[in-house]
Amino acid sequence: MNRFLKAGLAALGLLAGLAAPAAAQAPEKAKLELGVGGKPLLYYLPLTIAERKGFFKEQGLDVTINDFGGGAKSLQALIGGSVDAVTGAYEHTIRMQEKNQDVVAVLELGRFPGIVLAAAKDKPIKSVADLKGMKLGVTAPGSSTHLTALYLLAKAGVPADSVAIVGVGGGASAVAAVERGNVDAVSHLDPVISKLEADGAVNILVDTRTEAGTMAVYGSTNPAATLYLKADFVKANPGTTQALTNALYKALKWLEKASPEDVAAAVPEEFWLGDKALYIKAVAASLPTYSRTGIITDKAAASMLDFLKQVEPAAFKDAKIDLKKTFDPRFVEKAAATVK
Protein backbone atom coordinates (compact mmCIF):
# COMPACT_ATOMS: atom_id res chain seq x y z
CA MET A 1 0.00 0.00 0.00
CA ASN A 2 1.28 3.49 -0.90
CA ARG A 3 2.83 5.09 2.20
CA PHE A 4 0.86 8.31 1.59
CA LEU A 5 -2.37 6.33 1.46
CA LYS A 6 -1.38 4.55 4.68
CA ALA A 7 -0.70 7.88 6.31
CA GLY A 8 -4.05 9.25 5.12
CA LEU A 9 -5.93 6.25 6.45
CA ALA A 10 -4.11 6.51 9.76
CA ALA A 11 -5.08 10.16 10.01
CA LEU A 12 -8.72 9.31 9.28
CA GLY A 13 -8.59 6.63 11.95
CA LEU A 14 -7.20 9.12 14.43
CA LEU A 15 -9.95 11.61 13.63
CA ALA A 16 -12.59 8.92 14.03
CA GLY A 17 -11.10 7.97 17.35
CA LEU A 18 -11.20 11.56 18.54
CA ALA A 19 -14.82 11.99 17.48
CA ALA A 20 -16.15 8.72 18.86
CA PRO A 21 -16.12 9.41 22.62
CA ALA A 22 -18.38 12.46 22.33
CA ALA A 23 -21.04 10.50 20.47
CA ALA A 24 -20.68 7.05 21.97
CA GLN A 25 -19.33 7.35 25.52
CA ALA A 26 -20.65 4.42 27.55
CA PRO A 27 -23.14 5.23 30.31
CA GLU A 28 -21.42 5.50 33.67
CA LYS A 29 -24.65 4.39 35.34
CA ALA A 30 -26.68 2.04 33.16
CA LYS A 31 -29.43 1.18 35.66
CA LEU A 32 -31.52 4.27 36.35
CA GLU A 33 -34.60 5.45 38.19
CA LEU A 34 -36.56 8.07 36.24
CA GLY A 35 -39.44 10.08 37.68
CA VAL A 36 -42.52 11.45 35.93
CA GLY A 37 -45.72 13.05 37.14
CA GLY A 38 -48.61 11.51 35.19
CA LYS A 39 -47.08 9.13 32.65
CA PRO A 40 -50.30 8.48 30.64
CA LEU A 41 -50.64 12.20 29.88
CA LEU A 42 -49.74 13.21 26.34
CA TYR A 43 -47.50 15.90 27.88
CA TYR A 44 -45.07 13.03 28.57
CA LEU A 45 -45.68 10.96 25.45
CA PRO A 46 -42.01 11.05 24.29
CA LEU A 47 -41.07 9.18 27.48
CA THR A 48 -43.50 6.35 26.79
CA ILE A 49 -42.39 6.14 23.16
CA ALA A 50 -38.72 5.89 24.20
CA GLU A 51 -39.66 3.12 26.63
CA ARG A 52 -41.99 1.14 24.36
CA LYS A 53 -39.83 1.42 21.25
CA GLY A 54 -36.73 0.21 23.08
CA PHE A 55 -34.79 3.46 22.62
CA PHE A 56 -33.43 3.37 26.17
CA LYS A 57 -32.18 -0.18 25.71
CA GLU A 58 -30.55 0.81 22.41
CA GLN A 59 -28.50 3.30 24.42
CA GLY A 60 -27.40 0.67 26.93
CA LEU A 61 -29.77 1.85 29.64
CA ASP A 62 -32.03 -0.08 32.01
CA VAL A 63 -34.59 2.56 33.01
CA THR A 64 -37.24 2.06 35.68
CA ILE A 65 -39.98 4.68 35.37
CA ASN A 66 -41.62 5.87 38.58
CA ASP A 67 -44.97 7.62 38.07
CA PHE A 68 -45.66 9.99 40.96
CA GLY A 69 -49.00 11.35 39.74
CA GLY A 70 -47.85 14.97 39.62
CA GLY A 71 -44.80 16.95 38.49
CA ALA A 72 -44.11 18.46 41.91
CA LYS A 73 -43.84 14.97 43.40
CA SER A 74 -41.35 13.76 40.78
CA LEU A 75 -39.25 16.88 41.44
CA GLN A 76 -39.28 16.10 45.16
CA ALA A 77 -38.10 12.57 44.36
CA LEU A 78 -35.15 13.97 42.39
CA ILE A 79 -34.16 16.37 45.15
CA GLY A 80 -34.57 13.60 47.70
CA GLY A 81 -32.38 11.24 45.70
CA SER A 82 -34.89 8.46 45.00
CA VAL A 83 -34.70 9.05 41.23
CA ASP A 84 -31.76 9.96 38.99
CA ALA A 85 -33.62 11.99 36.37
CA VAL A 86 -37.06 13.42 35.67
CA THR A 87 -39.20 14.18 32.68
CA GLY A 88 -40.93 17.25 34.03
CA ALA A 89 -41.78 20.88 33.45
CA TYR A 90 -38.96 23.28 32.59
CA GLU A 91 -40.11 25.80 35.20
CA HIS A 92 -38.90 23.43 37.93
CA THR A 93 -35.28 24.13 36.95
CA ILE A 94 -35.83 27.86 37.53
CA ARG A 95 -37.71 27.33 40.78
CA MET A 96 -34.92 25.13 42.10
CA GLN A 97 -32.25 27.70 41.21
CA GLU A 98 -34.16 30.25 43.29
CA LYS A 99 -33.84 27.74 46.14
CA ASN A 100 -30.09 27.29 45.49
CA GLN A 101 -30.58 23.81 44.03
CA ASP A 102 -28.78 23.22 40.73
CA VAL A 103 -31.20 21.34 38.50
CA VAL A 104 -30.62 21.52 34.75
CA ALA A 105 -32.72 20.59 31.72
CA VAL A 106 -30.83 18.95 28.86
CA LEU A 107 -33.67 18.36 26.37
CA GLU A 108 -36.95 20.08 25.60
CA LEU A 109 -39.77 17.60 24.97
CA GLY A 110 -42.66 20.04 24.59
CA ARG A 111 -42.67 23.49 23.03
CA PHE A 112 -46.29 24.32 23.94
CA PRO A 113 -47.67 23.54 27.42
CA GLY A 114 -50.75 21.71 26.14
CA ILE A 115 -52.55 22.68 29.36
CA VAL A 116 -56.27 23.43 29.16
CA LEU A 117 -58.45 25.23 31.68
CA ALA A 118 -61.97 23.85 31.47
CA ALA A 119 -65.12 24.35 33.53
CA ALA A 120 -67.74 21.74 34.34
CA LYS A 121 -70.74 22.38 32.08
CA ASP A 122 -73.20 22.41 34.94
CA LYS A 123 -71.35 25.21 36.74
CA PRO A 124 -71.92 28.96 36.21
CA ILE A 125 -68.39 29.50 34.91
CA LYS A 126 -68.03 31.37 31.63
CA SER A 127 -64.56 32.85 32.11
CA VAL A 128 -61.50 32.55 34.35
CA ALA A 129 -62.88 35.41 36.47
CA ASP A 130 -65.84 33.21 37.44
CA LEU A 131 -63.55 30.72 39.25
CA LYS A 132 -63.55 32.79 42.44
CA GLY A 133 -64.94 30.64 45.24
CA MET A 134 -64.75 27.47 43.14
CA LYS A 135 -62.84 24.19 43.46
CA LEU A 136 -60.20 23.76 40.76
CA GLY A 137 -58.65 20.38 39.96
CA VAL A 138 -54.98 20.07 38.97
CA THR A 139 -52.74 17.03 38.53
CA ALA A 140 -51.03 17.81 41.86
CA PRO A 141 -50.44 20.98 43.89
CA GLY A 142 -47.19 22.61 42.77
CA SER A 143 -47.30 20.97 39.33
CA SER A 144 -47.26 22.80 36.00
CA THR A 145 -51.06 22.51 35.74
CA HIS A 146 -51.33 24.25 39.12
CA LEU A 147 -48.87 27.02 38.23
CA THR A 148 -50.59 27.64 34.90
CA ALA A 149 -53.90 27.96 36.72
CA LEU A 150 -52.35 30.48 39.13
CA TYR A 151 -50.98 32.47 36.19
CA LEU A 152 -54.38 32.58 34.49
CA LEU A 153 -56.10 33.56 37.75
CA ALA A 154 -53.60 36.40 38.26
CA LYS A 155 -54.18 37.67 34.72
CA ALA A 156 -57.93 37.65 35.38
CA GLY A 157 -57.54 39.48 38.71
CA VAL A 158 -58.72 36.54 40.80
CA PRO A 159 -56.89 36.14 44.16
CA ALA A 160 -55.20 32.75 44.32
CA ASP A 161 -56.48 32.14 47.85
CA SER A 162 -60.07 32.56 46.67
CA VAL A 163 -59.89 29.30 44.70
CA ALA A 164 -59.60 25.87 46.35
CA ILE A 165 -56.93 23.77 44.60
CA VAL A 166 -57.57 20.01 44.53
CA GLY A 167 -55.11 17.37 43.29
CA VAL A 168 -56.98 14.97 41.00
CA GLY A 169 -54.14 12.92 39.50
CA GLY A 170 -53.25 12.34 35.88
CA GLY A 171 -55.71 9.93 34.26
CA ALA A 172 -59.15 8.40 34.85
CA SER A 173 -59.23 9.86 38.37
CA ALA A 174 -59.19 13.37 36.88
CA VAL A 175 -62.09 12.58 34.56
CA ALA A 176 -64.05 11.14 37.48
CA ALA A 177 -63.34 14.18 39.66
CA VAL A 178 -65.05 16.45 37.13
CA GLU A 179 -67.90 14.15 36.16
CA ARG A 180 -68.77 13.32 39.79
CA GLY A 181 -68.79 17.00 40.75
CA ASN A 182 -65.79 16.82 43.08
CA VAL A 183 -64.32 19.88 41.35
CA ASP A 184 -65.95 22.77 39.50
CA ALA A 185 -63.19 23.21 36.93
CA VAL A 186 -59.91 21.62 35.96
CA SER A 187 -56.48 22.69 34.72
CA HIS A 188 -55.29 19.59 32.91
CA LEU A 189 -53.91 17.87 29.83
CA ASP A 190 -54.83 15.38 27.13
CA PRO A 191 -56.15 12.72 26.95
CA VAL A 192 -58.12 13.82 30.03
CA ILE A 193 -59.38 17.02 28.38
CA SER A 194 -60.40 15.30 25.14
CA LYS A 195 -62.26 12.65 27.15
CA LEU A 196 -64.15 15.31 29.11
CA GLU A 197 -64.95 17.17 25.88
CA ALA A 198 -66.22 14.01 24.21
CA ASP A 199 -68.42 13.29 27.23
CA GLY A 200 -69.88 16.79 27.00
CA ALA A 201 -68.73 17.45 30.54
CA VAL A 202 -66.79 20.70 30.15
CA ASN A 203 -66.54 24.08 28.49
CA ILE A 204 -63.04 25.14 27.42
CA LEU A 205 -61.89 28.48 28.85
CA VAL A 206 -58.18 28.52 27.90
CA ASP A 207 -56.34 26.16 25.53
CA THR A 208 -52.55 26.00 25.09
CA ARG A 209 -52.51 22.89 22.91
CA THR A 210 -51.88 25.09 19.88
CA GLU A 211 -49.30 27.72 19.02
CA ALA A 212 -52.04 30.35 18.72
CA GLY A 213 -53.43 29.46 22.13
CA THR A 214 -49.98 29.50 23.70
CA MET A 215 -49.11 32.86 22.16
CA ALA A 216 -52.43 34.32 23.36
CA VAL A 217 -51.59 33.37 26.95
CA TYR A 218 -47.82 33.94 27.10
CA GLY A 219 -46.93 36.06 24.08
CA SER A 220 -44.28 33.48 23.18
CA THR A 221 -43.75 29.76 22.90
CA ASN A 222 -43.39 28.36 26.38
CA PRO A 223 -41.17 25.36 27.24
CA ALA A 224 -43.18 22.49 28.67
CA ALA A 225 -41.89 19.01 29.50
CA THR A 226 -38.12 18.52 29.57
CA LEU A 227 -35.55 15.96 30.66
CA TYR A 228 -33.91 17.42 33.75
CA LEU A 229 -31.34 16.17 36.27
CA LYS A 230 -29.24 17.48 39.13
CA ALA A 231 -26.27 19.41 37.75
CA ASP A 232 -23.80 17.36 39.77
CA PHE A 233 -25.23 14.13 38.32
CA VAL A 234 -24.76 15.50 34.80
CA LYS A 235 -21.17 16.45 35.57
CA ALA A 236 -20.37 13.04 37.06
CA ASN A 237 -22.30 11.03 34.45
CA PRO A 238 -22.00 12.70 31.02
CA GLY A 239 -22.27 9.39 29.19
CA THR A 240 -25.46 8.46 31.02
CA THR A 241 -26.92 11.92 30.42
CA GLN A 242 -26.06 11.66 26.73
CA ALA A 243 -27.67 8.22 26.47
CA LEU A 244 -30.89 9.46 28.09
CA THR A 245 -30.93 12.49 25.80
CA ASN A 246 -30.32 10.33 22.73
CA ALA A 247 -33.20 8.00 23.57
CA LEU A 248 -35.70 10.78 24.16
CA TYR A 249 -34.49 12.78 21.16
CA LYS A 250 -35.07 9.70 19.01
CA ALA A 251 -38.60 9.54 20.43
CA LEU A 252 -39.17 13.16 19.35
CA LYS A 253 -37.96 12.33 15.84
CA TRP A 254 -40.25 9.28 15.76
CA LEU A 255 -43.21 11.43 16.78
CA GLU A 256 -42.49 13.91 13.98
CA LYS A 257 -43.29 11.21 11.43
CA ALA A 258 -45.83 9.13 13.35
CA SER A 259 -49.56 9.14 12.71
CA PRO A 260 -52.00 9.30 15.63
CA GLU A 261 -52.81 5.66 14.87
CA ASP A 262 -49.10 4.77 15.18
CA VAL A 263 -49.02 6.39 18.61
CA ALA A 264 -52.16 4.60 19.81
CA ALA A 265 -50.64 1.29 18.74
CA ALA A 266 -47.42 2.05 20.62
CA VAL A 267 -48.80 2.98 24.05
CA PRO A 268 -50.44 0.70 26.64
CA GLU A 269 -54.17 0.25 26.11
CA GLU A 270 -54.96 1.74 29.51
CA PHE A 271 -53.72 5.09 28.19
CA TRP A 272 -56.77 5.17 25.89
CA LEU A 273 -59.13 5.74 28.85
CA GLY A 274 -61.45 3.13 27.36
CA ASP A 275 -61.86 4.85 23.99
CA LYS A 276 -59.19 4.26 21.34
CA ALA A 277 -60.83 6.53 18.74
CA LEU A 278 -60.96 9.36 21.23
CA TYR A 279 -57.33 8.79 22.19
CA ILE A 280 -56.34 9.01 18.51
CA LYS A 281 -58.21 12.31 18.29
CA ALA A 282 -56.40 13.60 21.37
CA VAL A 283 -53.03 12.58 19.92
CA ALA A 284 -53.82 14.40 16.68
CA ALA A 285 -54.48 17.56 18.71
CA SER A 286 -51.27 17.12 20.72
CA LEU A 287 -48.70 16.18 18.07
CA PRO A 288 -47.89 19.84 17.25
CA THR A 289 -46.93 20.47 20.89
CA TYR A 290 -43.77 18.34 20.82
CA SER A 291 -40.41 20.00 20.35
CA ARG A 292 -38.89 19.82 16.89
CA THR A 293 -35.32 20.62 17.97
CA GLY A 294 -35.10 19.72 21.66
CA ILE A 295 -33.65 23.21 22.23
CA ILE A 296 -35.06 25.79 24.66
CA THR A 297 -34.51 29.20 23.08
CA ASP A 298 -33.40 32.22 25.11
CA LYS A 299 -36.73 33.92 24.37
CA ALA A 300 -38.74 30.93 25.55
CA ALA A 301 -36.66 30.64 28.73
CA ALA A 302 -37.19 34.33 29.45
CA SER A 303 -40.92 33.86 28.91
CA MET A 304 -40.96 31.14 31.56
CA LEU A 305 -39.08 33.31 34.04
CA ASP A 306 -41.60 36.11 33.47
CA PHE A 307 -44.38 33.57 34.05
CA LEU A 308 -42.88 32.61 37.42
CA LYS A 309 -42.40 36.24 38.44
CA GLN A 310 -46.12 36.74 37.99
CA VAL A 311 -47.17 33.46 39.63
CA GLU A 312 -44.76 33.68 42.58
CA PRO A 313 -43.83 37.38 42.90
CA ALA A 314 -42.57 37.08 46.49
CA ALA A 315 -40.03 34.42 45.49
CA PHE A 316 -38.91 35.82 42.15
CA LYS A 317 -39.21 39.61 42.39
CA ASP A 318 -35.58 40.06 43.46
CA ALA A 319 -34.25 36.57 42.66
CA LYS A 320 -30.97 36.39 40.77
CA ILE A 321 -31.71 33.77 38.13
CA ASP A 322 -29.10 32.79 35.55
CA LEU A 323 -31.16 31.16 32.81
CA LYS A 324 -28.00 29.78 31.20
CA LYS A 325 -27.74 27.40 34.16
CA THR A 326 -31.25 26.03 33.66
CA PHE A 327 -30.65 24.50 30.22
CA ASP A 328 -27.52 22.80 28.87
CA PRO A 329 -27.80 22.39 25.08
CA ARG A 330 -24.63 20.31 24.60
CA PHE A 331 -26.31 16.91 24.90
CA VAL A 332 -29.16 17.57 22.47
CA GLU A 333 -26.72 19.12 20.02
CA LYS A 334 -24.71 15.86 20.06
CA ALA A 335 -27.92 13.85 19.78
CA ALA A 336 -29.00 15.83 16.73
CA ALA A 337 -25.64 15.10 15.09
CA THR A 338 -25.58 11.38 15.85
CA VAL A 339 -29.07 9.95 16.42
CA LYS A 340 -30.75 8.49 13.36
pLDDT of res. 12: 39
pLDDT of res. 19: 35
Burial 134-161 (b: 16+ CB within 10 A, else e): bbbbbbbebbbbbbbbbbbbbeeebeee
The residue among 149, 216, 134 whose CA lies nearest residue 189 is 149
CATH architecture under which domain 116-207 falls = 3-Layer(aba) Sandwich (3.40)
For 7-112+222-338, CATH number out of 3.40.190.10, 3.90.420.10, 3.40.220.10, 3.40.50.300 equals 3.40.190.10
Name the segment(s) of the chain with CATH classification 3.40.190.10: 7-112+222-338, 116-207
pLDDT in tens, 8-61: 444 434 333 333 333 468 999 999 999 999 899 999 999 999 999 999 999 999
pLDDT in tens, 210-236: 889 999 998 888 899 999 999 999 999
- pTM metric for this prediction: 0.84
Query: What percent of the chain is predicted at pLDDT more than 70?
Result: 93
Q: What is the mean pLDDT of residues 167-196?
A: 94
pLDDT in tens, 251-270: 999 999 999 999 999 999 99
Are 263 and 283 contacting, i.e. CB atoms less than 8 angstroms apart? yes
pLDDT of res. 24: 60
pLDDT in tens, 270-287: 999 899 999 999 999 899
The residue among 217, 230, 226, 228 whose CA lies nearest residue 306 is 217
Average pLDDT, the chain: 91
Query: What percent of the chain is predicted at pLDDT more than 90?
Result: 81
- 269 CB contacts (<8 Å, ≥6 apart)? 276
